[in-house]
Amino acid sequence: LSDSEIMARALLIAQKSIEEKNAQLERQAQKIEEDAPKVLFANSVAASKSSILVYDLAKMMRQNDIDMGGRRLFEWLRDHGYLVRRHGKDYNMPTQRSMEMGLFEIKETAITHSDGRITTKRTPLVSGKGQVYFLTKFLEAQLPAAT
């Protein structure tokens, strides 16, 4: 090949490479635009001061096409070390690790009985950060492995 033919071929290859890169950038920009509402929602939930019951998290998962009910979610959380599985006073309470991760909060309610004694009921609540964490974890588990 002559020098000019080599140069022309190199220019064609470079142009094709630039066009492919531009197409890839356009696809990425479109994906970012499509994901913007989801990101906004996730950020607002993570920053939210309101925590929800584990059963409400299961309902949220159901809305996101995750086949999970409240009892199964409690069982999964215990089996994976997020909630205490030992029966007793701490049953279904968040583990130290999950509390340190900021996934749960504990709501304490004082109950006054008819005989005058007062007991405290403790309820685990999933924090905003925990909601995003668990939804992401379950949604990623549903995605087929990238090839």
pLDDT (0 to 100) of residue 50: 81
Residue 146, phi then psi, degrees to nearest 5 = -70, 135
Mean pLDDT, the chain, rounded, equals 86
**Which has more pLDDT, 108 or 39?**
108
* pLDDT > 90: percent of the chain: 52
Q: Which among 101, 98, 103 has a CA at the least distance from the CA of 45?
A: 103
For residue 140, CA distances in Å to 39, 64, 85 come to 15, 12, 25
Instruction: Show the tokens assigned to 89.
Output: 């006073």
The pLDDT of residue 146: 44
Asked if residue 82 lies in contact with residue 102, where contact means CB atoms within 8 angstroms, the answer is: no
C-alpha 119: how far from its chain's center?
Answer: 35
For 23-79, the pLDDT digits (tens) are 999 999 888 887 776 776 666 566 566 888 999 889 888 887 788 899 999 999 999
